[in-house]
Amino acid sequence: MTELKQHLNEKGLRLTWQRQVVMEVVGKHKGKHLSSSEIFELVKESHPSIGLATIYRTLPLLEKMKLLNKICLDDGCVRYESYTPKEQEHHHLICMACGAVYEVEQDLLGIKEKQIIRDNHFSIKGYMVKLYGYCESCAEKKSEMKKEVAL
């Protein structure tokens, strides 16, 4: 039995082709950070009859079942990506100039976690780091502009 069906059964929910297709589509785009409407468009390619409301219902559901990760990259919409378990969380570099997003595969917090839990009486289930800065090409453009102004 597929992992999706398993999770659904546990909660008395039903397996529909809509839920399967959403899982498949996101799974086919590892490394991408897809908005709800982008997922809608991708699903429609193979299943044009699906409704947008179903997408908006399905994504939070899959997230709660930990089959997807929800992320918020400050561009005004929620995005989703394939689930990464706590042990191999990854993080995001966001270019403040062009908005490009790069992934960082590294444990960025490490042992500090335990200390935070002690200090704050807060049990930590996961974390997300967003790093803001400039990608290589945007950094170059910025230094060129400074030169021009100096002339």
The answer to the question of residue 74 lying near a second copy (CB under 8 A) is: yes
Residue where the block lists tokens 């559901």: 61
* Residue among 13, 15, 61, 109 that touches a second copy (CB under 8 A): 109
Distance CA 123, CA 114 (A): 9
Binding mask 16-35 for DNA (x = CB under 7 A): xxxx---------------x
Residue 122 near which of DNA, Mn ion, Zn ion, none (CB within 5-8 Å, type-dependent): none
Tokens of 23: 């899982």
Residue 56 near which of DNA, Zn ion, Mn ion, none (CB within 5-8 Å, type-dependent): DNA
The answer to the question of residue 36 lying near DNA (CB under 7 A) is: yes
> CA–CA distance from 72 to each of 33, 102, 143 (Å)?
9, 14, 29
The answer to the question of residue 49 lying near DNA (CB under 7 A) is: yes
Q: Which is nearer to a second copy, 41 or 77 (CB)?
A: 77
Distance CA 31, CA 3 (A): 21
User: What are the residues binding Mn ion (CB under 5 A)?
Assistant: 81, 103
Question: Which range binds DNA by CB under 7 A, 5-13, 89-97, 116-124, 126-134?
Answer: 5-13
On the 0-12 / 13-18 / 19+ scale of CB atoms within 10 A, 109 is middle
Query: Are residues 15 and 1 in contact, defined by beta-carbon separation less than 8 angstroms?
Result: no
